[in-house]
Structure 1
Amino acid sequence: MHELLNRAAFLRGAGVGAAGLAATSILGARAEAEEATETAVHPNIRLIREYYQAYASGDLRALERFFAPDIRWTIPGHHPLSGTKTGVAEVLAFFRELGRAGFRAETFFLAADGDWVVDLHRGWSTTPAGLDITWALAFRITGRKIVEAVNFAADQHAADAFFWQHYPLAPLPDRLAHR
């Protein structure tokens, strides 16, 4: 309390009114709480934050260290990129395709419970611009590796339309696997 009174006296002396004093006190308390909370962050949230930093770098090799060898990454929808990708090579191929459209992500919520992390983020394309929606991801983490990720789109119809427009299928017979 003594520290708060000293801060108030200093700010009044600097010409800060009651509203500014309240805002400064709240912001100071928030910063202190965030600093204290950061030391107690769930290790899987830290891992996902690091993953998003690597994703933002655009370096696909930097992502490899986050993935279990048998990772399963599920993309919702009815479009050329949808479905479950299995293994690091398939997941990286998916991210390579997202990179063609300049996809970016801005995380605004992360929560962890046991092996699961839930993420909400803004995901948008830049080249071409055209898709800008909220996505939710559920990450399952084992041994500091992502073993499973499931995407959920806030506007699946917009995502389907965007991916169909910008990722057309190859003509027959080239799109069929030859066995």
Structure 2
Amino acid sequence: MTTKEVVTAYSVALSQGDIPTAFSHFSPDARWHQPGNHRLSGTKNGLDEIGKMLGEMMEITNGSLVVNPTGDLMSNGNFVSFPVRFSGKNGEKTIDMNGVDLFEVVNEKIVQVWLFSEDQDAEDIFWS
């Protein structure tokens, strides 16, 4: 699989709610860099921490968190850039903004993920 194919397979599985298949595309010691200054921010190490964070996100949003691609994946060596739009509801708070997810793929496994959002301050308020 190419780096783009790995990220595409992960994204498709995630969009279908197939978490085991989505996580099968990660290295067991993957790192997820969640930006911002809120309770979910920081680097998550390994699938347990990543899974816990994603589970908390779904719990906070009562399952309303949606991430949709907004453009083509672009690759440069081991890196894949994935433009997205994410939205969700947290009580009375809502979020709907663009972002970029950057994946590092090594030996056909995702080893690191960095997220970027167009308005980090608004995202911090949403997750607070």
Length-normalised TM-score, structure 1: 0.64
Residue equivalent to 2:30: 71
Structure in which a larger fraction of residues adopt helix: 1
SS at match of 2:70: strand
Conservation of the 8 A alpha-carbon contact between 1:68 and 1:146: yes
Conservation of the 8 A alpha-carbon contact between 1:139 and 1:150: yes
Matching of residues 28-39 of structure 1 within 5 Å: none
Residue equivalent to 1:108: 70
Q: Deviations over 1:75-121 (max 9, x none)?
A: 10000000000001111111112222121111123100110001110
Structure in which a larger fraction of residues adopt strand: 2
Structure 1, unpaired ranges of 5+: 1-41, 165-179
Q: Which of structures 1 and 2 has the larger relative contact order (alpha carbons within 8 angstroms, sep 6+)?
A: 2
Quick one: which amino acid aligns to residue 95 of structure 2?
L
Structure 2, unpaired ranges of 5+: none
Length-normalised TM-score, structure 2: 0.88
Quick one: which amino acid aligns to residue 71 of structure 1?
A
Residue equivalent to 1:27: none
Residue equivalent to 2:17: 58
Quick one: which amino acid aligns to residue 105 of structure 1?
V
Q: For the residues of structure 2 that align with 1:127 and 1:57, how far apart are their CA atoms? A: 22
1:147 and 2:111 matched = yes
Flag the structure with larger Rg.
Answer: 1
Quick one: which amino acid aligns to residue 135 of structure 1?
G
Percent identity, please: 28
CA RMSD of aligned residues (A): 1.6
Runs ≥4 in structure 1, deviation > 3 angstroms?
126-129
1:62 positional shift: 2.4
Residue equivalent to 1:38: none
Q: For the residues of structure 2 that align with 1:96 and 1:122, how far apart are their CA atoms? A: 19
Residue equivalent to 1:124: 87
Conservation of the 8 A alpha-carbon contact between 1:60 and 1:95: no
| Aligned positions, number | 123
Quick one: which amino acid aligns to residue 107 of structure 1?
P
